[in-house]
Amino acid sequence: MDPGTPNGVSRRSFLKYAALGGVAAWGVYSGIVYPSGWARWMTYGQKPWELATGVVDYAKVAEHEGAMDAFGVPRFYREGSEDRRKLNVAQWYDYWPGKVIRDFGVYMAERFNLPGCEARWTSNIYTSNEELFTWISQTGRKFDVMVPTNYTVETMEKAGLIVNMNREWVPNFDCMFGPVPSSVDHIDVWRPNPFVTTYPSWPNGYNTEAGFDFRTPALNGYMYRMNRETYPNPRGTDNFTWDETNSLLAVPFQWGTTGIGYRSDVFEREDIERYGWDVLELPEYHNPRTGTTYNLHKKKMMLDDMREVYTAAFKDVGWKRQVDEGLTPTAVTRSNGDYQWSSNETTEEKLQAATDWLVSFKGDTWGFNTPQQGPWLVAKQMLVDQAWSGDIMYAVRPNSNQHLPVEYFVPKQGGARWIDNMVIHRECEKLWLAHQFINYIQDPVVQADVSAWNLYATPNAWSFEILHDDPSYAFRGRNLDGTPYYWNPAEDSRIYGDFAIGYSGPEILSRCEYQKDVGVRATLRYFKYWRSVKF
């Protein structure tokens, strides 16, 4: 065994893993110590404001960027090339409207008297976390801000690819779902909304009636370096104490669920909900209401995303195992392993069982594709697919009179729940400006505009209230039979699950589990099985 690789992993296997975009071969650890050779590599190119790999001392940043002027802008951005006011941002496809990004320049000019600011992103669009990770770990691409999913934040942190933020430069972070802060005077809305003018506060002490929390360190460990449960050995120096102020790694951008998208003019809702993930096994479907039989050969599809595909497989096989054992099946993962399987299983036995299930209908599906999960349902090229909530809602277009026959639900066996987050790449050399961009995106009105456009869920409580109370974000039209039709984004359970205002149906989010970084050796196992499923 080569001593320069993680314990129990050969160099050949590890390099193959890194080439697949799993984890940077020179920097990863998962509950283990960096080998000395990697440690030397990781410190190469250390920035003058770093105390250690990815550990930013913001007092040193202030020294580097220079004193702030009367508008609060460091000297660095007033002097030198105009490129200092340009950010390189990596983002998912179809995730924000162009106007919101263009307005960042307007925001910086109005708020800081700093014209010429820009966020460049159109050449940095990715379709999976693995693709983004490959860019920064294998190709050397450099970004200022990126938007990985929660489990990939963990992977990036362990690989030394992101830095801690300066909490004081992101005051709008206090708008995230969570307890009402002791003071909200520091939150300064750029363009106030006339329908929601004050910070939301409920009798439960939270900024949402449902009491969601995307902000507290103990509940959102992946977001904070101080959380020892997620990061047993947070990077840093012996005399550097991490706390909530200086250990923030990620700011939630949007969130959603992973479930099933389908043609509602093909499947009866009651039928497809009864099948859940089992619908992918069907060679055909007979609609009892219309009497039509539909051939499903090559009309089914899954996401081109390894962790999402295996989440569906674990949930379906785990459900079947419960039924086989005579249990009343549940979608809720239990820590004792007696009930539903987790999205984060790592044993050979469970990976093999999940793979067997996926391979059992592999030849009958179209394959794996992410960008077309919505468009191909609309075009009827697919009749059912694994899908992300917002992508299907964007296809449904509930804020229009199109009335497309496309629907979405989280299957009974369970699905994934995830949060996409803004993080700062270790290669970023415009730290103050990167923070201002993240804070701008979390302005209550800006964040509401993003969610209203992409139809994913906002993690911003103030934005959530705006989406509900401002009639410009709702839609009034006519159903096909001419009856009045009203839609409000904050009341739609397909977007917010049982968190949706006024929803009183069965719990949805309890069926959805967050994926976690499972470490080097376990991810190598995933890739071994994934190859047999995909190719």
Strands (E), 165-303: 251-263, 284-286, 293-295, 300-302
Residue 461's DSSP bridge partners are none
Mean pLDDT by 10 residues, the chain (535 residues): 38 40 37 42 76 93 96 96 96 93 97 97 92 92 97 94 96 97 93 96 96 94 93 80 93 98 98 98 98 98 96 97 94 79 96 98 96 97 98 95 95 97 97 98 98 97 98 95 95 97 95 94 93 93
Residue 127 and residue 321: Cα distance in Å, rounded? 33
Residue 330 and residue 319: Cα distance in Å, rounded? 7
User: Please, what is the angle between helix 129-138 and helix 11-19, to 10°?
Assistant: 120
Residue with tokens 């959805």: 512
187-234 pLDDT tens trace: 989 999 999 999 999 999 999 999 999 999 999 999 999 998 899 888
CB-CB contact of 257 with 266 (8 Å): no
CB-CB contact of 413 with 318 (8 Å): yes
CB-CB contact of 315 with 277 (8 Å): yes
Tokens at 332, concatenated: 């809720």
Residue 349 and residue 347: Cα distance in Å, rounded? 5
Kindly report the number of other CB atoms within 10 A of residue 306's CB atom. 23
CB-CB contact of 393 with 259 (8 Å): no
What DSSP assignment string belongs to 215-232?
S-TTT-GGGBTT-TTT-S
* pLDDT score for 11: 37
Residue 309, Cα to own-chain centre: how many angstroms?
16
Residue 518 and residue 529: Cα distance in Å, rounded? 15
Residue with tokens 């979608």: 331
* pLDDT score for 181: 95
pTM reported for the whole predicted model: 0.91
What is the chain's alpha carbon radius of gyration, rounded to the nearest angstrom? Answer: 24
Domains of the chain: 45-253+424-454 (3.40.190.10), 256-419+483-522 (3.40.190.10)
Residue 202: HSE in the Cβ half-sphere, 13 Å Cα cutoff: 14
Q: Is 384 helix (H, G, I), strand (E, B) or coil?
A: strand
CA angle 180, 183, 189 (to 5 degrees): 90
Tokens at 73, concatenated: 């802008």
Q: What is the SS3 assignment for 77-131?
A: HHCCCHHHHEEEECEECCCCCHHHHHHHHHHHHHHHCCCCCEEECCCCEECCHHH
Residue 37 and residue 27: Cα distance in Å, rounded? 10
* pLDDT score for 338: 76
Residue 297, Ramachandran bin (φ over 0: left; ψ between -120 and 50: alpha; else beta):
beta
* pLDDT score for 43: 59
* pLDDT score for 9: 42
